[in-house]
A and B are shown apart, each in its own frame.
Chain A
Amino acid sequence: MGLLSDPNRRKALTTLLTRLNTPICVVCYLAGIAWFMGLAFEPFTLRTYMSENAMGSTMVEERFPAGERALATGREFAGHKRKAGGMPVDWLVKTMQDRGLEVFTQSFSRTLPFPDENKERYMVRGINVYGILRAPRAPRTEALVLSAPCSPDNSNNQAVGLLLGLAQYFRNQIYWAKDIIFLVNEHDLIGMQAWLEGYHHTNISGMDYTPLQGRAGSIQAALSLELSSDVITSLDLILEGLNGQLPNLDLANLFHAFCQKIGVMCTIQGKLQRSDWDTAEGYTHAVQTMMLMVLKQASGRPWGDHGLFLRYHIEAATVRGVNSFRQYKTDTTTVGRLLEGMFRKLNNLLERLHQSYFFYLMPSLSRFVSIGYYMPAFGLLATILLLRALDLWVQLGTPTEVTEDGVGEVEPVSINNQGSFDSPLTHIYIDLYSKRHSTFQMLFISGEGTEQGWRVLKLVALLYLAVLLGCTALINFSLGFILAITLVPVAACVTPHLPKAVSALAMVLLSPGCTILYCVFIFQELQEAPVSLSEGWMLFLSVISQGILDHSLFGSLVYPLLALLVYPCWLLLWNILFWK
């Protein structure tokens, strides 16, 4: 307790902090950014490893044979889908029943708060079809889910075909200890949300759905499949879910382990891992991959159908097949073998995946950065806010030369008149009436237009921002960090004494809205599809509308956080800038 109780050391520390406040803040900011960029540098990352013992070795012999038949089923599905103009419910039900599954359907409907421009839908009505493969030997307490979306256009037909092919293959095996649910959901995320809400008997999004007739036990893990071509060159893994929640790292490790075993090229964020980490291009590549993950996580939207499972404590990921211009092509049988292997491993689980990390960033599929390594970057940015708050507190605590009513410092009154009974008391009372107010009282009596007033407001704003960003970074690190990068300099530097026009422009350029705009442009750049200014603006507007829709449909927290909690803070700082 030496630092907190020894007044000499405290005074030395506080004078140091107030004198060197600006340099320390600048150093902390640069250090925070540098730390974050350094996270992608390969020697600072750890190689991924399988933490769950039950999923240890990949010593299974995958024998899935029926890739061609799966493609034929997919073509049949496409034909029926075109004929039905949506989900071919009867054909799917009959096909699943032929494969020996217990088939059930669920219809749902939802009216969006406003028409969705991107997907061109407003009143959504659909039917989910799912079949349950009951485990032959085990009690029906746990389940795994394999899902494929039924897209209205001509994509993901092969995914449904492979799903049905796998269902037929799995039905003939005797080693399943968990029930497997094969789900084909319509209208991607909305259908998935309806199915999950029906499965878990909740209703958080105001969706209308029929209750599920068949159920299979508590879901341990889920995989969503997106496959739109007969042959693929690589498989992409998508991890980011709703509100930036990520599945357990063991699921990504499982995928990576099987891709390496079977020999399929695997990517994350669409980028292949490079081995030349010590060159500039290699490092930039890793930074790009990590930044893509950060931006996707910060948006708070689920980037695949798996994103909604995470909220129910179900580890889920989306596997997407990509067909690009590479020489080596992988056929559907291999993809089927990979999925079979993953499901056999997930079948071995005794408890939910919990051994590995839940909070991580991935600069590539085999390297990760855990929360202990990336949190200090945010911590350094939050320190700036706390240092500024401490500085303001010290400034508010030292008495000013002249108080508001112009009364100067108090002089000690000596009682030298011992004679009269009342005079010491009158001396004391006059003295106390004119004594300087304590800071505590100052906090409550300062009104508008005083020097102290804006300092008090700034102190409150800084502490509020620090607590808000801290809580945000715990739930969704990327969102917290991106908000911190732009809001912390604004909060630290704003005073009424800055030149108004320039600072106002700077504040607008660093506001959360413009941050979203920059993120849109950076995201497009990183995806190697740069957009022009007008296209970027349209994309920005669509991002905002998607954010509002996500909040209303799935309960994403990004939009209410920005609108109700972050913008008032920014407005407080704006108020301080224009303090009279």
Chain B
Amino acid sequence: MAAPLTLVLVLAVTVRAVLFRSSLAELISERVEVVSPLSAWKRVVEGLALLDLGVSPYSGDVFHETPLIIYLFHFVVDYAEIVFMVTDGITAVALYLAVQNYNRNVFRKQKYALEANRYPPDCLELMRSPKEMFYIPLKVATFYLLNPFTILSCVAKSTCGLNNAVIALFILSTIKGSALLSAIFLALATYQSVYPLTLFAPALLFLLQRLYIPVNPCRSSFWLFTLQYGFMFVGSLLVIICLSFFLLGSWDFIPSVYGFILSVPDLTPNIGLFWYFFAEMFEHFRFFFICVFQINVFFYTIPLSIKLKEHPVFLIFMQIAIISIFKSYPTVGDIALYMAFLPAWSHLYRFLRNIFLVSCVLLACSALFPVLWHLWIYAGSANSNFYYAITLLFNVGQILLVSDYFYAYLRREHHLTQGLYLRRKDGSEATLVLK
């Protein structure tokens, strides 16, 4: 499978290289859907200039990325385009290997369950065959590399690509079972943007499952491992933060990066839900609503972890989707990461109910974003309400997509335990209704 993957990588690099050299690159790097105040390349260049002058890059409220990023680019700023293309390649290869490993695990578990006769007899249609699963890793890598959102994000040189790479490496190391590497990459991802903290729970659940430790608060082995993993995570995070302190010599990156992400002072329009609300919020209530909106991102972890405790990889997918919908400064690069996983759930297709509506809504909104931005900012005929309407519709479409996949996953699990063709007690056919 290395050859098709290499072909896809070559194609992706070609497309990006062509776009880098065209006049579209500047246009794309200014679009608010692709770059946010956190991830814009212009701001990185500004921060580098300030660093070269000997001033703290965080002065002046321009630069909001972490010190490690600025030091990375301090050395490779001349090769920035290559760095971003390589980053995309790393993400794609990491996702490829992770999904391949995951599929192998899934198939093995299915084989054991079949041999143990745990599935009802009419569930054979739901079984996954190696033929069907053979191309999934390649499809995942292709979905990530050739997704227009990823290409736009790479051509705009948005640091979202780097965030995606770290999260993809975290997923790979979790699925391979290495707790230390997983903790380190998770700490790096949390250090970059606060929200991957919610991925701690699914990673923990996966590693516990892999080590055959039951998820039971009464057992001491559970607490032992949790403490171990937590310690590794917190330790790496502290090490990275202290390293940043020593690199720059001051703590002012903490309010500039984490304070900025959590308190949302910059209300430039983007594809997220925060900007419009807070543009019209009275100061008195601002803190309350900031807390409400931020808790919204972290809130779904606990119920989802309880429901999906046997399926931690799907939980990772759901968490990444929730982060990219509800975070404070989302961009299309975040969306591209969770969309890359969709081929891994292609066996759920028969249970999806709204896929047509969702795809139409997402496609139409992606086309309408630039139109309404033009009408608002350049023509002056529309106003922010038009643009926010499309933002809302886009986010509703995404939420519908994620909840549809969730429903399909749970439904398949239900059928695998209860049987595919459901019968009522008197033997007549029954249908499953979600109330």
Contacts and interface: CB of A to CB of B under 8 A. Distances in A.
A470 B378 CA distance: 19
Given A313-B379, A359-B381, A410-B125, A467 B131 contact: no
B129 A413 contact: no
A428 B356 CA distance: 31
Given A10-B353, A438-B349, A471-B367, A432 B360 contact: no
A200 interface: no
B54 interface: no
Interface string B334-368: 00000000000010011001101100100110011
Interface string B206-231: 00000000000000000000000000
Interface string B367-407: 11001101100111110000000000000000010000000
Interface string A393-430: 10000000000000000101111000001001101110
A439 interface: yes
Q: Which of A354, A421, A467: most chain B CB closer than 10 A?
A: A467
A313 B382 CA distance: 11
Q: Which of B115, B353, B354, B356: most chain A CB closer than 10 A?
A: B356
Nearest to B380: A313
A263 to B, nearest CB: 33
Contacts of A245: 379, 381
Interface stretch (A1-9, A338-346, A539-547): A1-9
A470 B433 contact: no
B332 to A, nearest CB: 17
Contacts of A8: 431, 433
B52 interface: no
B363 A433 contact: no
A359 B132 CA distance: 52
A467 B381 contact: no
Given A4-B353, A474-B371, A433 B129 contact: yes
What DSSP secondary structure best describes chain A's contact surface? helix
Contact of B124 (A310, A359, A390, A428): A428
A4 B379 CA distance: 37
B114 A311 contact: no
A429 B129 contact: yes
B408 to A, nearest CB: 12
A474 B368 contact: yes
A258 interface: no
A433 B353 CA distance: 25
A425 B114 contact: yes
B381 A413 contact: no
A432 B346 contact: no
A257 B414 CA distance: 71
A51 B72 CA distance: 56
A7 B371 contact: no
Interface in A258-273: none
B413 interface: no
A89 B129 CA distance: 84
B121 interface: yes
Contacts of B132: 432
A5 B125 contact: no
Nearest to A459: B356
Interface in B66-124: 111, 114-115, 121-122, 124
Interface residues of B, number: 38
A435 B350 CA distance: 13
A432 B371 CA distance: 46
Interface residues of A, number: 43
Contact of B433 (A6, A415, A429, A467): A6
Contacts of B115: 421, 424-425
Nearest to B407: A5
A439 B349 contact: yes
Contact of A7 (B121, B125, B346, B433): B433
B420 to A, nearest CB: 9
Given A415-B121, A440-B346, A471 B127 contact: no
A282 B372 CA distance: 37
A7 B432 CA distance: 8
Given A5-B433, A393-B356, A439-B349, A474 B367 contact: no
Interface in B283-340: none
A17 B132 CA distance: 34
Nearest to B367: A467
B3 interface: no
Nearest to B374: A475
B53 interface: no
Contacts of B353: 4-5, 7, 10
Contacts of B433: 5-8
A263 B278 CA distance: 50
A302 to B, nearest CB: 14
Interface string B7-27: 000000000000000000000
Contacts of B431: 7-8
B129 A432 contact: yes
B416 to A, nearest CB: 14
Nearest to A394: B356
Interface string B147-181: 00000000000000000000000000000000000
Q: Which of B111, B129, B131, B381: most chain A CB closer than 10 A?
A: B381
Interface in A133-156: none
Contacts of B400: 4
A435 B363 contact: no
A467 B380 contact: no
A289 B356 CA distance: 41
Nearest to B372: A474
Given A359-B381, A421-B115, A390 B125 contact: no
A431 interface: yes
A358 interface: yes
B368 A390 contact: no
Contact of A5 (B127, B129, B434): B434
Contacts of B129: 428-429, 432-433
Contacts of B364: 466-467, 470
B343 to A, nearest CB: 10
A463 interface: yes
Given A412-B124, A428-B127, A311 B379 contact: yes
B113 to A, nearest CB: 11
Interface string A227-263: 0000000000000000001000000000000000000
Given A412-B124, A415-B121, A463-B363, A475 B131 contact: no
A386 B364 CA distance: 12
B349 A471 contact: no
Contacts of A433: 129, 131
Contacts of A410: 125
A393 B353 CA distance: 12
Nearest to B125: A435
Interface in B402-435: 431-435
Interface in A62-105: none
A210 B356 CA distance: 55
Contacts of A432: 124, 127, 129, 131-132
Contacts of A428: 114, 124, 127, 129
A469 to B, nearest CB: 11
Contact of A390 (B356, B367, B380, B382): B356
Nearest to A412: B122
Contacts of A386: 360
24 contacts: A5-B353, A5-B434, A5-B435, A6-B433, A8-B431, A10-B353, A245-B381, A311-B378, A413-B124, A424-B114, A425-B115, A428-B129, A429-B129, A431-B124, A432-B124, A432-B132, A433-B129, A440-B349, A463-B360, A466-B364, A470-B367, A471-B368, A471-B371, A475-B374
The 4 lowest CB-CB distance pairs between A and B, nearest first, are: A358-B381, A313-B380, A432-B129, A5-B434
Given A354-B380, A440-B346, A466-B364, 4 more contacts: A6-B434, A313-B378, A415-B121, A474-B368
Interface of B: 111, 114-115, 121-122, 124-125, 127, 129, 131-132, 346, 349-350, 353-354, 356-357, 360, 363-364, 367-368, 371-372, 374-375, 378-382, 400, 431-435
